[in-house]
Structure 1
Amino acid sequence: MDGTRCAKVRLWRWRANPLRRREDIVEGWVVLAVWLLMLVGGTVLGLVTARNAVDGFDAQRADRHPARAVLQADVPESAKSVGAASDHAMGKVRWTTDDGTTHTDETLVDRGLKAGTEVVVWVDGRGELATEPPDRTEAAVEAAVLGTGAALFLAGAVYGTGKVVRQHLEHRRVARWGQEWELVEPEWRRKTG
């Protein structure tokens, strides 16, 4: 198919045509709206999501800092591992914040450590245990993944909605063709019978 013919086929809903129905025009607008929402809306949502994620990770890096803690009890090699971190187990630690307050809590530590061993923990601005914030590279990758996921989610939702609307329009179009055929068919039968 040459380029001109291909463009005419794709844009058939927009051309004046005595066979064109209202549903055809609506479907053309629906297809245009779906594409615009997928491209523009997906891009905007992806960028906003990624920017917010980066800002959140920056705030975590500003709020959290490492602190020295002391292990309160032995963590034997045979201690039950936690999740995918097979070389880590829960251990009770105690640390002192910058304002002199002493805290005690449990966190993941290496198995096989003895009581009194110094370990590094991450604490937030209130002095509570927190996870280590991602570095800039990790944050950028995670933000890109989150932004892409948000854009794809929006694109999928918009595409699905457009598909449902187009199916509804197709059912209406077929029903109208059936109604019109009921009016025309007796005339054809008289002419051919």
Structure 2
Amino acid sequence: MTRTPPTTVARVRLWRWRPNTLKRHSDVFEAWIVLVTWILALAVGALAGQAAAHSMDSALSARRAQVHAVSAVLTDGAAKAPPAAGGYDDGRVWATVRWTTADGVVHTDRAKVYPGAPAGSPVTVWTDGTGRIVSAPTTPTEGMLQTVLAGVLVAQVAGTAVWASGWLVRTRLVRRRLAEWDEEWKRVGPEWRNLSGGRG
């Protein structure tokens, strides 16, 4: 069994770009559509992914700048075990904590702590500018992972959208070309059959 040389396969795949008397203007136009579609899909995907990653990184950095860690103590002992719950749960329980800010104001709020901690145990909580307890910000590693995932996801979606648009344009062009071929065959077919019959 003989194999087709790679150069022959490349010529077949790139036939729209090679001189050919049977090639139509629509074939060249289709080749340009495919080329431009791939270039735009890659470019738009890369730019959209980079913008999404930058936006996510800025949002996470701003979040980290708006909260800060404070030392607090438990006012009551924490429950021995967390209540049964379905789905994601980090195993911590809610308990009342108290802390004093730099200006001497005492705050009391509820925060999640590890179960079984006795009253007076030190805990670290995160607060915002108003002194309310908020969730801890993402770590640099978690932030980098979220940034990369956001960039990759947006890049893929944007690139796919551009590619799908080009595919729709190409599909309409192919349908139009097939319709033109059908009309031409309706005109040429009877004459060709008459000529073939006469020669027979």
- By the TM > 0.5 criterion, same fold? yes
Shift of 1:183: 1.0
Q: String of CA shifts for 1:149-182, please: whole Å, max 9, x gaps.
A: 2212222222222222222222222222111111
Structure 1 partner of 2:45:
42
Structure 2 partner of 1:19:
22
Q: How does 1:72-111 map to 2 (within 5 A)?
A: 72-80=75-83, 83-111=87-115
- Cα distance change, pair 98–38 in 1 and its aligned pair in 2 (3 A): farther
Larger of the two Rg values belongs to structure: 2
**Alpha-carbon distance in structure 2 between the residues aligned to 1:72 and 1:166:** 69
**Alpha-carbon distance in structure 1 between the residues aligned to 2:106 and 2:168:** 59
Which residue identity is paired with 1:26?
A: F
Q: String of CA shifts for 1:90-132, please: whole Å, max 9, x gaps.
A: 3344444444555544433222334554321111233232222
Structure 2 partner of 1:181:
185
CA contact (8 A) 1:81 1:89 kept: no
Which residue identity is paired with 2:49?
A: G
**Alpha-carbon distance in structure 2 between the residues aligned to 1:21 and 1:100:** 83
Structure 2 partner of 1:166:
170
**Alpha-carbon distance in structure 2 between the residues aligned to 1:86 and 1:137:** 19
- The one of 61, 64, 70 equivalent to 2:64 is 61
Which residue identity is paired with 2:145?
A: V
Shift of 1:66: 0.7
Aligned length: 193
Structure 2 partner of 1:141:
145
**Alpha-carbon distance in structure 2 between the residues aligned to 1:44 and 1:22:** 32
Greater shift, 77-86 or 159-168, is seen at: 77-86
Which residue identity is paired with 2:141?
A: T
Secondary structure at the aligned position of 1:13 is classed as helix
**Alpha-carbon distance in structure 2 between the residues aligned to 1:127 and 1:111:** 24
Shift of 1:70: 3.8
Shift of 1:87: 1.4
CA contact (8 A) 2:81 2:93 kept: no
Q: How does 1:109-124 map to 2 (within 5 A)?
A: 109-124=113-128
CA contact (8 A) 2:74 2:123 kept: yes
**Alpha-carbon distance in structure 1 between the residues aligned to 2:107 and 2:21:** 80
CA contact (8 A) 2:82 2:91 kept: no
Greater shift, 151-160 or 182-191, is seen at: 151-160
Which residue identity is paired with 1:133?
A: P
- TM-score, normalized by length of structure 2? 0.77
Q: Give me the identity figure in percent.
A: 38
Segments of structure 2 that go 5 or more residues without pairing to the other structure are none
**Alpha-carbon distance in structure 2 between the residues aligned to 1:72 and 1:50:** 42
